[in-house]
Amino acid sequence: MDDNDFRPAQRSPLIQRAPMASPTAHARPGKPDARPMRLAIFAGGIAVSSALAAAIIRPARPAVVVPAVDTQPETPVATGTPIVVQQPIQYIQLLPGQTAPPGATVIDPDAPKPTAIVATVQAPAARPPARKPIIIRTTQSGKVIP
């Protein structure tokens, strides 16, 4: 068999065609093996589903509240703003025969308890009615239109 049996005749004598190669010389290589990548994707899917299941099933931990530490000095800052410190009120019930320490306020347990506290709040001052805005119409040259 000649090389020219499988293709048409040459059209121009000036253009030389290369001889055809054998079919085995240009064989396509095989496809890469997909099994390792499939195994990696499967393992990743298992890990992700495990993490999601653990996040859904396990209850959330309560937030940890860290007590604030006062790092400011006891004297007022140079800006002149006073620092207000509220001391907690500690109530102590004295046993018969005990006396209150000096400077302590003594509350009589038989005194009537306050039932309501009335606070008077002033109403805000009445506002004047809003004025209607004044619209000045002009032409493109700046002439005022009456």
DSSP the chain: --GGGSSPPPS-TTSPPPPPPPTTTTPPPPPPP-HHHHHHHHHHHHHHHHHHHHHHHSPPPPPPPPPP---S-SSPPTT-PPPP-PPPP---PPPTT--PPTTPPP--TTSPPP-------PPPPPPPPPPPPP---B-TT-PBP-
Threshold 0.85, pTM exceeds: no
Range of lowest pLDDT (22-36, 74-88, 93-107, 117-131):
74-88
The predicted structure's pLDDT at residue 72: 56
The predicted structure's pLDDT at residue 38: 96
Write the pLDDT tens digit of every residue in 17-63. Answer: 666 666 566 667 788 899 999 999 999 999 999 999 988 887 666 66
